[in-house]
Amino acid sequence: MPAVTETREAVEKLGQSSYKWGFETEIDMDLAPKGLNEDTIRLISARKEEPEWLLEWRLSAFKAWQQMTEPTWAKVKYPPIDYQDAHYYAAPKKKPGPKSLEEVDPELLRTYEKLGIPLHEQAMLAGVELPEGETARPPVAVDAVFDSVSVVTTFRKTLEEAGVIFCPISEAVKDHPDLVRKYLGTVVPAGDNFFAALNSAAFTDGSFVFVPKGVRCPMELSTYFRINARNTGQFERTLIVVEDGASVSYLEGCTAPMRDENQLHAAVVELVAMEDASIKYSTVQNWYPGDENGRGGIYNFVTKRGACRGARSKISWTQVETGSAITWKYPSCILQGEGSVGEFYSVAVTNNHQQADTGTKMIHIGRNTRSTIIAKTISAGQSDSTYRGLVRVLPKAYGARNFTQCDSLLIGDRCGAHTVPYIENRNMGARIEHEATTSKISEDQLFYCRQRGLSEEDAVGLIVNGFCRDVLKELPMEFAVEAQKLLQISLEGSVG
Amino acid sequence: MNAIIKDPSASLVPFKARLDAVTDPARRAALGALHRVGLPDRRVEAWKYTGLRFLNETAFATAPQEIDRVKARAELERLGLTLGEAASLPRLVFVNGRYAADLSVEPENVDLTFFSKMQAFGSLSSPDRDALTALNAALATDGVQLTVPAGIDAGRLLLVSLGQAADPISFHPRHSVTLENGANLSLLCVQSGEGRYLHNPVMELSVADNARLQHLTIQTEGDDAACLATLYAQIEEHGSYDSFVLGLGAALSRHEVHARLNAAHAQVHVNGAQRLQGRQLGDVTSVITHAAPDCNSRQTVRNVLDGQSRGVFQGKVLVERIAQKTDGYQMNQALLLSETAEIDAKPELEIYADDVKCSHGATVGALDDEQMFYLRSRGVPEAEARQILIHAFLAEALGLIPDELAQTIATRIMELRFPVTGEA
């Protein structure tokens, strides 16, 4: 996770507005031929040594996908995607043998070092190599996914002792097939939508987390995704199951090299929370956003959904979205269990030619379910940013409660900020409140900061951070610092 | 939206014979658009919450020429339009979409003609985009074409539409109201009727510099009717369009307003209230476009929903790049009175200018328990306490009608449908 070991200084070294994670790593890759068809799917499945049922599941998803058309309702524009012009499987070539860190291609390790991701447990645990003036942070278990495959997962021993399973989903399929089979596709069905179906057919890796009854996961879990190879799509699939009374906090981060062409990222995340369970899912999405002329960048078309199955369960989504050329993402909560709680905290920043259409869905099914939505949208440059959210209260959700607040900030007069909430209520005992505002940075605030000697850019950064505070304070501490810096970098060059 | 509609013309079957008979070139053009897209179904984003199944079930004929004048007079009386101050107002009465001169009292100080005499489609509507406007353009037979000359205060004018349907009919009035510089008008539209019919009016409203148009629409159509109205308003510098719609009747209704603030300091209010019961579906949709700087728009819509009724609110505020210093406010509130009522709301902000102040809010809830308790503890019976609270909720909305007489008429007509006492 860049957030974890990224230091302030490292970020500050950044000269002008540039994407510091834009390097490419030269590694021998194992690539599937371009295009998606049954053979590719069979190949992926074979490479992953998957059981028959999973292959069948993939193939049925592929069939469903072929019948589907790409959704067009989002407020984003992009040229048609040729789904046959990408590699659906790309993995760093690896010698057979035990999977220890020593076996990993040193080039790959250097990549993660550059990104600041702690793959060396010992160093982390010892806490001795920290630069002066920096306090030791609590350990974080990391699963690093490079293009299509998970390269390493740290701290597995410690987690195993606590009974927590944290591993690449491809391993989980082999080691815990019953668990995966029981939950996979139950929150986001294979044919849920165009991109979810594509993912179900072609997913290559991702993380699997299982926290058994009554266990409080002893450390933060984190997955780090990186797209590296050319012409590849990344289709990771994450499944998190938390049993009765258990809890987990999970972080996700992502980067990609700078390229002129667009790359597709279509992930699916499924969360299952049983009785009294709680899941906190935080994302700092920093895929390559394209250059200042809108060339290149990642298409981030993601389906994220959590099911609060048990009574009093809780799912909380926090996202800081600064990257991607196009974002299409609606982390949702299905509030089924009585008294379950859904939360969505989001900061979405777009600059230059970025487009974001993001928001959430809160589906209230059970009695006394509650949801909170706080969405902060910041548009700069020539970008367009849309909040699109649904609050649906079904007839049995007596006493359901929703509060939604969407605030948009416009920086410059060539960008757009849009708010499209959908409110559907079929229960008279429900209470729903929604409010939204759009404004620009107030001259007064700016004047106040400038008067005290801050540069205009710093002043904007400060004001934006204040604007986003309600969301940033929901992030785990290490993430919050990173996110604040990221906001500032994303908005560089947007004023003055 | 690229909803794929297999056969657009299938949706036009209820009107087929009449549409086939259209020969006029201007109308054929509108018809072309209609044939391309068909009537919208719920896959079309703007019609996500409002289905038009009502139209598919019957063939709608042209309204017969003869009308029942006795009945029409009785209806005007029932609506209280022949009482007190309302009785002395100039009025234009349409029955089944045709002007009934003998029931009307024409206003003075205005230029008045009718669509049946001088067919003019105006330039504000967009039949290419709005299928129901295209349907109107193809089948319109009559309507008011009214101009208030510069500097004239034309006072109040009643525009009444009555439906009398023995067999299913549809009528498609085409109205246009123009206020020249500095003109003033308070327009009161009252829509009522009986039987199974489709009332599909299109109204173009043009408000020039410094002019002021107040516009109240009271929709109390028959229980078996559909009213699908589309209004297009354009407001120029320092002009103001202050509108309110009260939706009470019809099995299916949609009041769709497209208001465009075209020059600096223009102002628009698109307010409304709906009170629905049974299986009614009432839809209030608006698109307010800020196309010039320093304009302001206000919108408050309140819904009271009982039985299995469904209220729909879709309000879009679009602020174009040029429209700096825009001030926009939008509020939608719903009160659900039964366990089977439903509200679907979609307030929407689309903003391209950075120096703006725009906000919207929406709330949904049942009657407040504490307020009920307060009234009950003072000895007010439950049914009456409910009535008081509902009344208070709506009275606040009706208070937004600037013309006091209009407000009185609106309240009176609402009480015809919902008597204040004697209802559980």
| pLDDT tens, residue by residue, B146-155 | 999 999 999 9
* Chain B neighbors of A418, CB-CB under 8 A: 348-351
Half-sphere exposure at residue A300, Cβ-oriented, CA atoms within 13 angstroms:
32
State the count of interchain CB pairs (< 8 A) between A and B.
Answer: 117
Residues in chain B: 424
pLDDT single digits (tens) A355-378: 999 999 999 999 999 999 999 999
Q: Contact A421/B362, CB-based, under 8 Å?
A: yes
- Closest chain A C-alpha to B325 CA, distance in angstroms: 10
Q: What is the pLDDT of residue B246?
A: 97
Residue A314 within any structural domain of the chain: yes
Flag whether residue A433 sits within 8 Å of chain B, measured between CB atoms: yes
Q: Contact B354/A412, CB-based, under 8 Å?
A: yes
Q: Contact B365/A432, CB-based, under 8 Å?
A: yes
User: Which of B4, B340, B349 lies at the smallest CB-CB distance from A436?
Assistant: B349
Q: Contact A72/B1, CB-based, under 8 Å?
A: yes
Q: What is the pLDDT of residue A148?
A: 58
Model confidence band, residue A80 (pLDDT cutoffs 50, 70, 90): confident
* Chain B neighbors of A69, CB-CB under 8 A: 4
The mean pLDDT of A242-267, rounded to a whole number, is 83
Nearest to A348 by CA among A396, A296, A416: A416
Q: What is the pLDDT of residue A34?
A: 81
Task: Please state, in angstroms and rounded to a whole number, the distance separating the CA atoms of residues B108 and B110.
Answer: 5
- Domain total for chain A? 1
Task: Please state, in angstroms and rounded to a whole number, the distance separating the CA atoms of residues B204 and B216.
Answer: 15
Higher pLDDT, A268 or A97: A268
Flag whether residue A428 sits within 8 Å of chain B, measured between CB atoms: yes
DSSP run (H or E) holding B376: helix B369-377
Q: Contact A425/B355, CB-based, under 8 Å?
A: no
Nearest to A187 by CA among A338, A370, A332: A332
Higher pLDDT, A452 or A14: A452
Q: Contact B354/A419, CB-based, under 8 Å?
A: no
The mean pLDDT of B110-123, rounded to a whole number, is 91
- Closest chain B C-alpha to A385 CA, distance in angstroms: 10
**What tokens does B97 get?**
């979409």
pLDDT single digits (tens) B179-208: 999 999 999 999 999 999 999 999 999 999
Q: Contact B354/A437, CB-based, under 8 Å?
A: no
* Chain A neighbors of B360, CB-CB under 8 A: 419, 434-436
Nearest to A299 by CA among A321, A330, A328: A328
Flag whether residue A416 sits within 8 Å of chain B, measured between CB atoms: yes
Flag whether residue B298 sits within 8 Å of chain A, measured between CB atoms: no
pLDDT for A228 beyond 90: no
Q: Contact A419/B339, CB-based, under 8 Å?
A: no
Model confidence band, residue A291 (pLDDT cutoffs 50, 70, 90): confident
Cβ atoms of residues B219 and B193 within 8 Å? no
Distances in Å between the Cα of A168 and the Cα atoms of A144, A222, B28 are 9, 12, 63
Nearest to B34 by CA among B147, B109, B128, B139: B128
**What tokens does B54 get?**
């009502």
R_g (Cα) of chain A, nearest Å: 22
Q: Contact A437/B348, CB-based, under 8 Å?
A: no
Q: What is the pLDDT of residue B308?
A: 95
Model confidence band, residue A229 (pLDDT cutoffs 50, 70, 90): low
- Closest chain B C-alpha to A40 CA, distance in angstroms: 31
Task: Please state, in angstroms and rounded to a whole number, the distance separating the CA atoms of residues A455 and A452.
Answer: 9
Residue A217 within any structural domain of the chain: yes
Residue A324 within any structural domain of the chain: yes
Residue A495 within any structural domain of the chain: no
Nearest to B383 by CA among B412, B420, B423: B423
Helix (H/G/I), strand (E/B), else coil: B10 = helix
pLDDT for B6 beyond 60: no
Flag whether residue A435 sits within 8 Å of chain B, measured between CB atoms: yes
* Chain B neighbors of A407, CB-CB under 8 A: none
pLDDT for B83 beyond 50: yes
pLDDT for A10 beyond 50: no
Model confidence band, residue A259 (pLDDT cutoffs 50, 70, 90): low
User: Which of A73, A410, A422 lies at the smallest CB-CB distance from B346?
Assistant: A422
Please name the amino acid found at residue A158: T
Residue A330: give the domain boundaries: 2-490
Helix (H/G/I), strand (E/B), else coil: B82 = coil
pLDDT for A407 beyond 70: yes
* Chain B neighbors of A427, CB-CB under 8 A: 336, 339
- Closest chain A C-alpha to B356 CA, distance in angstroms: 6
Flag whether residue B318 sits within 8 Å of chain A, measured between CB atoms: no
Cβ atoms of residues B258 and B232 within 8 Å? yes
Q: Contact A425/B364, CB-based, under 8 Å?
A: yes
Q: What is the pLDDT of residue B251?
A: 96
Chain B residue with the nearest C-alpha to that of A398 = B339
Task: Please state, in angstroms and rounded to a whole number, the distance separating the CA atoms of residues B340 and B361.
Answer: 24
Q: What is the pLDDT of residue A231?
A: 58
Q: How far apart are the first and last CA of chain B?
A: 44
Half-sphere exposure at residue B410, Cβ-oriented, CA atoms within 13 angstroms:
33
Higher pLDDT, B240 or A486: B240
Q: What is the pLDDT of residue B420?
A: 72
Residue A496 within any structural domain of the chain: no
* Chain A neighbors of B334, CB-CB under 8 A: 425
pLDDT for A18 beyond 90: no
Model confidence band, residue A351 (pLDDT cutoffs 50, 70, 90): confident
Q: Is A116 left (phi over 0), alpha (psi -120 to 50) or beta?
A: left
Task: Please state, in angstroms and rounded to a whole number, the distance separating the CA atoms of residues A356 and A78.
Answer: 12
HEC secondary structure over chain A = CHHHHCCHHHHHCCCCCCCCCCCCCCCCEEECCECCCHHHHHHHHHHCCCCHHHHHHHHHHHHHHHHCCCCCCCCCCCCCCCCCCCECCEEECCCCCCCCHHHCCHHHHHHHHHHCCCCCHHHHHHCCCCCCCCCCCCCEEEEEEECCEEEEECCHHHHHHHCCEEEEHHHHHHHCHHHHHHHCCCCCCCCCCHHHHHHHHHCCECEEEEECCCCECCCEEEEEEECCCCCECECEEEEEEECCCCEEEEEEEEECCCCCCEEEECCEEEEEECCCCEEEEEEEECCCCCCCCCCCEEEEEEEEEEEECCCCCEEEEEEEECCCCEEEECCEEEECCCCCEEEEEEEEEECCCCEEEECCEEEECCCCCEEEEEEEEEEECCCEEEEEEEEEECCCCCCCEEEEEEEEEEECCCCEEEEEEEEEECCCCCEEEEEEEEEECCHHHHHHHHHCCCCHHHHHHHHHHHHCHHHHCCCCHHHHHHHHHHHHHHCCCCCC
Percent over 70 (pLDDT), chain B: 98
Residue A446 within any structural domain of the chain: yes
Give the mutation candidate from B316, B325, B350 for the A interface (greatest A CB count, under 10 A).
B350
Q: What is the pLDDT of residue A136?
A: 42
> In the 8-state DSSP scheme, what is residue B8?
G
Model confidence band, residue B3 (pLDDT cutoffs 50, 70, 90): very low
pLDDT single digits (tens) A186-214: 999 988 999 999 999 988 888 899 999 99
* Chain A neighbors of B343, CB-CB under 8 A: 423-425
The mean pLDDT of A388-399, rounded to a whole number, is 94
> A170 exposed, middle or buried (CB, 10 Å; 0-12, 13-18, 19+)?
buried
Flag whether residue A93 sits within 8 Å of chain B, measured between CB atoms: no
- Closest chain B C-alpha to A444 CA, distance in angstroms: 13
Diameter of chain A by CA atoms? 68
**What tokens does A112 get?**
């993660």
Higher pLDDT, A298 or B399: B399
- Closest chain A C-alpha to B284 CA, distance in angstroms: 14
Higher pLDDT, A415 or A21: A415
Nearest to A228 by CA among A17, A435, A29: A29
Residue A242 within any structural domain of the chain: yes
Non-local CB neighbours of B319 within 8 Å, separated by 6+ positions: B290, B326, B328, B349, B350, B351, B352, B353, B356, B358
pLDDT for B239 beyond 90: yes
Cα dihedral value B149, B150, B152, B155, nearest 10? 70
How much is the pTM?
0.86
Flag whether residue A450 sits within 8 Å of chain B, measured between CB atoms: no
The alpha carbon of residue B199 and the mean position of all alpha carbons in its chain are separated, in whole angstroms, by 11
Q: What is the pLDDT of residue A92?
A: 63
Flag whether residue B363 sits within 8 Å of chain A, measured between CB atoms: yes
Model confidence band, residue B161 (pLDDT cutoffs 50, 70, 90): very high
**What tokens does A100 get?**
């220890």
Give the mutation candidate from B287, B314, B330, B354 for the A interface (greatest A CB count, under 10 A).
B354
pLDDT for A155 beyond 80: no
Percent over 90 (pLDDT), chain B: 76
Q: Contact A425/B336, CB-based, under 8 Å?
A: yes
User: Which of A73, A419, A440 lies at the smallest CB-CB distance from B354?
Assistant: A440
Flag whether residue A383 sits within 8 Å of chain B, measured between CB atoms: no
**What tokens does A57 get?**
């599941």
Half-sphere exposure at residue A243, Cβ-oriented, CA atoms within 13 angstroms:
10
pLDDT for B102 beyond 70: yes
pLDDT single digits (tens) A474-493: 887 767 777 777 777 777 76
- Closest chain A C-alpha to B39 CA, distance in angstroms: 19
Please name the amino acid found at residue A215: V
pLDDT single digits (tens) A82-114: 888 888 877 666 544 334 555 556 666 666 666
Residue A306 within any structural domain of the chain: yes
User: Which of A72, A426, A432 lies at the smallest CB-CB distance from B363?
Assistant: A432
Q: What is the pLDDT of residue A474?
A: 84
Q: What is the pLDDT of residue B354?
A: 85
Q: What is the pLDDT of residue A284?
A: 85
Task: Please state, in angstroms and rounded to a whole number, the distance separating the CA atoms of residues A206 and A377.
Answer: 28
Percent over 90 (pLDDT), chain A: 40
* Mean of all residue pLDDT scores within chain A: 81
Flag whether residue A396 sits within 8 Å of chain B, measured between CB atoms: no
> Considering only A290-299, A421-430, B1-10, which range has the smallest mean pLDDT?
B1-10
Helix (H/G/I), strand (E/B), else coil: B312 = strand
* Mean of all residue pLDDT scores within chain B: 92
Q: Contact A435/B321, CB-based, under 8 Å?
A: no
Q: What is the pLDDT of residue A220?
A: 84
Task: Please state, in angstroms and rounded to a whole number, the distance separating the CA atoms of residues B270 and B293.
Answer: 19
pLDDT for A17 beyond 60: no
Flag whether residue B349 sits within 8 Å of chain A, measured between CB atoms: yes
pLDDT single digits (tens) B279-330: 999 999 999 999 999 999 999 999 999 999 999 999 999 999 999 999 999 9
Q: What is the pLDDT of residue A206?
A: 83
Please name the amino acid found at residue A221: L
DSSP run (H or E) holding B409: helix B404-417
